[in-house]
Structure 1
Amino acid sequence: MAIGFTWWSASGGPGKTTNAMQTAAAIGRDGYDVLAVDLDPQRGALTHYCGYGDLAYDDEEAGHVVEPDIMDVLFGEEGLEEIIVETDHFDLVPGHEDMGNFESAVADSSRMAADQFFVVRDAIEDLSSDYDVVIIDTQATHTKLVDNALVAAQNIMVPIELTPKGKASQQELEDTLEAIEKGFRGMNVDVTIRGTVPSRVGNAKIFEEYREQMENEGIPISPFSIPEHSLLRYTWDKRMDLFSFIESEDTRELRAYEEHVPLAYKVIGRWMVGDYSYDEAIERWDEVKDKEMGDATPEKLLEDADPTTEVNV
């Protein structure tokens, strides 16, 4: 049975799609079979990032029609395996702009009210034995599609801005999860916040201040932040994950101040799947965050930091 994660924040812009992409790749590189699911109706989401943007929309006038798409799977007879495509380190269920019609489609379906929150979960469960990890990326706006993503994954990873806006988004998420827990009590739904990852942090002092404040309030927060780097924008432009970008002969080499970024995603990925406990993740991060990568891989640096750690490779 696969373990599921949804990257979600009610505020736009904190990097949920970027984090979904990079953690899926980081976990896949450790030997896990990873399925990423794009549940964002926007064309510029995970499907586009992975280089499959042409699968995210129809243009009937140009003769471009994607059949079947994810809506055909969720509300038709097609199976999820019919639309899965491959990337370097994980498989992808492409999103489609027709998911903007999810609310009306589920309302018109024969599903009873409570069962309308299990559409995505039912589709994924058919393939759960084929994968170790499922990572879902969904839109920021809170809709029934988002609720479906949360119920399907049950483990929520929250990219958060260290600003009052970010904390308000975190509170909205906690209120949403509390409502889901009450609404589905006794129905095998246990949705929890697995971790909070500060994104686009430009000031280390502000990060530490907010981290201490949030920890005191009982909000789980990672010991590592994802700074706003041009490196991640380059990976977007190249339509490839960070690790493929590093290894490609058609891209530039990492600059010294960028080398900790893939290490951060490796540590976050191993923390997500349980290869590192929270305390171990902090320890590994402290050991490798300032190391120069050179010709080594992120995995090799982490292995050198703790050769006793076993991962599923």
Structure 2
Amino acid sequence: MLTYTTYSEAGGVGKTTVSANCAVAHARAGHDVLVIDMDPQDGSLSYLLDVDDERATGGADNLVRHMIGRPQGPFEDLVRETEHGVDVIPSHNMLERLTELLMKTADLEEDTNPDPGYAYPMHEQLFRVIREADVPSRYDVLVVDPPATAGPHLYNALFATRNLVIPLELSGKGEQSVAGLQDLVDGLEAELGINIGVLAAVPNGVKGTSDQETYLTDLRELGFDVPVVIRDRTSLMEGCWRQQCSAFTYVEEHRRRKRDYELETLSQFETLAEHLAAQVGLESPETARAEVDA
């Protein structure tokens, strides 16, 4: 099974669009895909894929209730099917209180546990929920999209997936510079006490300036895997948010004329998804069928 968290410390680098379009690319390759949206902000992946209609419904069952051991129904009922068969567990406003609710649960669990040395595993609750729901036997790919801030949302995502895909802007500005990527990974590993693999760094919104080419060279020299470089596609991505769909659906259903550079971007998402799958030996069913037919 391929599992990864899409994360960047810097905002505005296309984290959510990379998550959504990679998920769709995996599904188009024939994989069963589950995406978990852990970003409490409006305009998260749930909005992009048009499944955020119960975000503000207080009585609705949601992922947080399952993480704190107070589910109102089976895990399967949280899942919403979206375009190209991608399953999504949508975000909910209760995610804004995840830290508070996990801390309250920790207090209760530690106070009532007979072992005086017991420590509630606050960052392992998403992993527990996924394991109990038998997600690995039901899906080929799991993608988690947390907010762009450190904390229980991110830590639970990483403990469950153990892998990172890092979208980034090739710029000297912002919190996350090329030189700081390894420090970011080292810090997360130290916080969680686990090894975290970086499956890919994904430069996004690249305009091809000389400075950006230098940053790209630096990124590769530092040893980061850069399978694709996604050029500046502002119009395409704005269209996706406007129509609430992936780039694949936007080009297929909302463009009267197919633009070669946009088709190139779709191909890059497919290349990225294939590269990520290859990292764990996950073969595309579509590729396997083509080889048999040949």
* Aligned residues between the structures: 273
- Are 2:67 and 1:74 aligned? yes
Alignment CA distance shift 1:252-1:113 (3 Å): farther
Alignment CA distance shift 1:10-1:178 (3 Å): same
- Are 2:82 and 1:87 aligned? yes
**Which residue pairs with 1:124 in the alignment?**
130
Tell me the TM-score normalized by structure 2: 0.83
In 1, are the aligned partners of 2:37 and 2:91 still within 8 Å (CA)? yes
Tell me the TM-score normalized by structure 1: 0.78
Alignment CA distance shift 1:308-1:35 (3 Å): closer
**Which residue pairs with 1:284 in the alignment?**
none
Alignment CA distance shift 1:27-1:204 (3 Å): farther
Quick one: distance in 2 between partners of 1:184 and 1:276?
Answer: 22
Quick one: distance in 2 between partners of 1:193 and 1:166?
Answer: 20
- Are 2:272 and 1:261 aligned? no
140, 146, 153: which is aligned to 2:154?
A: 146
Match of 2:17, SS state, is helix
Quick one: distance in 1 between partners of 2:191 and 2:56?
Answer: 34
1:57 maps to a residue whose letter is A
- Are 2:94 and 1:107 aligned? no
Match of 1:235, SS state, is helix
Q: Give the 5 Å matches for 1:200-239.
A: 200-203=205-208, 205-239=210-244
Quick one: distance in 2 between partners of 1:246 and 1:193?
Answer: 30
In 2, are the aligned partners of 1:7 and 1:135 still within 8 Å (CA)? yes
The two structures, once aligned, show a CA RMSD in angstroms of 2.7
- Are 2:33 and 1:25 aligned? no
In 2, are the aligned partners of 1:229 and 1:258 still within 8 Å (CA)? no
In 1, are the aligned partners of 2:38 and 2:91 still within 8 Å (CA)? yes
**Which residue pairs with 2:249 in the alignment?**
244
Alignment CA distance shift 1:184-1:210 (3 Å): closer
Which ranges in structure 1 are unaligned for 5 or more consecutive residues?
A: 59-64, 278-299
Alignment CA distance shift 1:104-1:265 (3 Å): same
**Which residue pairs with 2:44 in the alignment?**
45
Larger RCO (CA under 8 A, 6+ residues apart): 2
- Are 2:278 and 1:274 aligned? yes
In 2, are the aligned partners of 1:80 and 1:93 still within 8 Å (CA)? no
Report how far residue 170 of structure 1 moved.
5.5
Quick one: distance in 1 between partners of 2:21 and 2:47?
Answer: 14
In 2, are the aligned partners of 1:9 and 1:169 still within 8 Å (CA)? no
Alignment CA distance shift 1:183-1:204 (3 Å): closer
In 2, are the aligned partners of 1:159 and 1:196 still within 8 Å (CA)? yes
Deviations 1:103-140 (A, max 9, x none): 11111112764611111111122222100000111100
Quick one: distance in 2 between partners of 1:170 and 1:161?
Answer: 9
Identity within the alignment, %: 25
Report how far residue 172 of structure 1 moved.
5.6
2:220 maps to a residue whose letter is E
Report how far residue 213 of structure 1 moved.
1.5
Quick one: distance in 2 between partners of 1:260 and 1:247?
Answer: 13
171, 176, 198: which is aligned to 1:168?
A: 176
Alignment CA distance shift 1:37-1:195 (3 Å): same
